[in-house]
Amino acid sequence: MYRAVTWAALEQGIAIEDEPAITALAQRLVIEVTPPTVLDNRQYTVLADQVDITWEIREPRVNQHVSPVSAYPGVRAALTIQQRRIGAQGGVVMVGRDIGTVVLPNADLKIYLDATLEERINRRLREALARGMQLTYEDVKLDLQKRDRIDSTRATAPLTIAPDAVVIDTTPLTIEAVVTRIEELARPLIAGAGGVGCAKRTAG
């Protein structure tokens, strides 16, 4: 959702440094996240004012600007309202860097996915190259380090591990192994209507 706001700002020519304008954009932008609507290996579809921007929000220019946008208190307040509305419906898995600590502090299950910086760089680089993006290892490294620094030190909802979160180091694990571990944790709760908060500091 923060990527959607960032993409919309760039598309509309709004300066990323213009906090009031970015906040106003976040307040009026209608963002929807739905099951995949196109068979192109996407995990979900993201719409901004009914425009499909699922892949656009992963562009390098969005990667470079999403952290400052997500640090604006007004933007976080606007999107937190939308996220809580979705979470209140139950049966939800929500991913973000402050989901378990701020957005859904009462989630039935909180999972913090982590990985070493090197592993996260390699994952992001493979993902980018597979989509035809021209990035280098150093490009991705600098981008991830910058994002970690901003997200961990911002005044509003900084990246932290919730005290009751289950930490999973995904560095040596396959995707299938991570999914299996999460399913083991979530299975006892599936019959309920709670939400699962998932914070991550991975390359996703």
Taking only the tens place, the pLDDT of each residue in 95-121 is 888 899 989 999 989 999 999 999 999
Per the listing, tokens 């739905």 go with 34
Looking at every residue in the chain, the average pLDDT score rounds to: 89
Q: Do 63 and 150 belong to one domain? A: no
Q: Phi and psi at residue 67, in whole multiples of 5°?
A: -65, -50
What is the predicted pLDDT for the residue at 36? 93
Q: Do 52 and 96 belong to one domain? A: no
Range list of β-strands (E), 82-164: 92-95, 109-114
Q: Do 202 and 157 belong to one domain? A: yes
Q: Which of 87, 103, 123 is the last residue of a domain?
A: 87
Weakest-pLDDT range from 35-49, 78-92, 163-177: 78-92
The band of 204, judged by pLDDT with boundaries at 50, 70 and 90, is very low
Q: How many CA atoms lie within 13 A of 157 on its CB side?
A: 24
Strand partners, 48: 31, 51
Q: Do 67 and 111 belong to one domain? A: no
Q: Which of 53, 68, 87 is the last residue of a domain?
A: 87
Per the listing, tokens 């299996």 go with 180
> By residue range, what is the domain housing residue 204?
90-204
